[in-house]
Structure 1
Amino acid sequence: MMGRGDCAWGPGMVGGQYWQRGDGTPVTTLDQARARADVFASRLGLRVGEVMQFSKNFYAELKTPSGELATEILVDPADGDTGIEYGPAMMWNTDYGMHHRDQPQERPRISPDQAKDRAQQWLNDRGGGLTVGEADAFPGYYTLHTLRSGKITGMLSVDASTGAVWDHTWHGAYVATSEH
């Protein structure tokens, strides 16, 4: 059993995922979410990039010291629990996900432009008039904001090998973004 504030990596933890228990204090602002994300990121030797607030959680992208996108995490607003985002970050991330590999990987077969095209086609097939933003490259996949009239509504990801699309339905409604 882990104590409060512990962070674990290993085969016994939810498929080898990173997770950090919060202190039980609600997280209500982007600055508080960034502070939680900073603690989590520092344990991995990473730093926090964009932080977003949604109605159901806070989202943060983590970057390597050189500025490359590394993974995506969620901060639970109820208690500050922080962990690798479920979905693409767990399943498709070749460096920080469940299927992380120790050997060098082949280059992605899907380019950022192809990922954007696939994501847009996926949205078009479902109707609703949403468009996609730029494709941010994480190890093994891309994440894109979904937009309505140029304003963020959510996000989705595209697998860099297969082109499969995964909608981030767990966030709820978009509230705000903080970039540093």
Structure 2
Amino acid sequence: MSKYIIGFLVVISAIGLAILAAFGISALINRSNTSLANGYWGSGMMGGGMMGYINQSIDGNRLTIDEATLIAKDYVASTNSNLSIAEVMSFQRNFYIAVKEKDSGRAAFELLMDPITGNLGSEPGPNMMWNRKYGHMGILRNKSGENPITLEEARQFAQKALDSNIPGAIVEPNGFDFYGYYTFDYKVNDVIAGMLSVNGFNGQHWFHTWHGTFIEEKEVNK
């Protein structure tokens, strides 16, 4: 008889745990949706800590590229004194910001800024998955150093990817050399049409599909 009682209690406990787990998952989903609704960008791991910046000055108008540059400069300066802004690009959906190290001159990581609110977050894709110093790869392995694939070799990989996917597009010769990958602009009919990254270890490419139409750019300290 006791075996039946024990079995019954085990079943009840399992059901209880399942209910608690369901409530827990629901709460996490709700918190995630609330954060997105409030303008919090998906926070990537930058240098071992969660990275995200919420701008407090919002008037509903699109930021100019100069205003976006000032916000990005203030954020980066408050985060790490060895970092500076290298380039800001204005796109239909966001501002793209390339950050570099002052001492080495090496490209560090990439940010995206909401063009209306000025909220900052880590750029998805290669910046999170391939960055061996400031992204997820850096946290797992803490790798840095030179990329086995050179900038010119990466440019050739990028051009091959463009030839296969966007015939007529031409990769720009000067890309950013990040820890683990490279990022290039490319043009169509001599106008910037987008960006793509190339893995510095295996040559894999990744198109930046989240920007929208290019508007203008500003080189700050490339």
* Fold shared by both chains (TM-score > 0.5): yes
Identity of aligned residues (%): 35
Give the Cα–Cα distance (whole angstroms) in 2 for the partners of residues 173 and 10 of structure 1: 24
Return the offset for 1:87. 1.0
Provide, for residues 70-107 of structure 1, a one-character-per-residue CA deviation record: whole Å limited to 9, x for no partner: 11111111311102211111111111112214645463
Give the Cα–Cα distance (whole angstroms) in 2 for the partners of residues 170 and 144 of structure 1: 15
One-letter identity of the residue aligned with 1:60: I
Return the offset for 1:109. 2.1
2:138 maps to what in 1? 100
Is the counterpart of residue 44 in structure 1 residue 80 in structure 2?
Answer: yes
SS at match of 1:37: helix
Q: 1:172 to 1:179 in 2, by over 3 A?
A: same
Provide, for residues 93-134 of structure 1, a one-character-per-residue CA deviation record: whole Å limited to 9, x for no partner: 111112214645463221111111111101111143101012
Is the counterpart of residue 65 in structure 1 residue 102 in structure 2?
Answer: yes
Please state which structure has a larger fraction of its residues in strand: 1
User: For the Cα contact (< 8 Å) 1:56–1:170, is it kept in 2?
Assistant: yes
Is the counterpart of residue 149 in structure 1 residue 189 in structure 2?
Answer: yes
Provide, for residues 19-43 of structure 1, a one-character-per-residue CA deviation record: whole Å limited to 9, x for no partner: 1112251552001110111122111
1:23-172 superposed matches below 5 A: 23=56, 25=58, 26=60, 27-42=62-77, 43-45=79-81, 46-66=83-103, 67-101=105-139, 103-105=142-144, 107-134=146-173, 135-172=175-212
Give the Cα–Cα distance (whole angstroms) in 1 for the partners of residues 205 and 80 of structure 2: 27
2:55 maps to what in 1? 22
Rg larger for: 2
Return the offset for 1:47. 0.8
TM-score (normalised: structure 2): 0.70
SS at match of 2:163: helix
Q: 1:93 to 1:104 in 2, by over 3 A?
A: closer
Q: Which moved more, 1:106-115 or 1:82-91?
A: 106-115
TM-score (normalised: structure 1): 0.85
Unaligned runs of 5+ in 1: none
Please state which structure has a larger fraction of its residues in helix: 2
One-letter identity of the residue aligned with 1:144: F
Unaligned runs of 5+ in 2: 1-30
Provide, for residues 149-180 of structure 1, a one-character-per-residue CA deviation record: whole Å limited to 9, x for no partner: 33211110001112110100100000001122
What is the count of residue pairs matched by the alignment?
173
Moved over 4 A (4+): 101-104
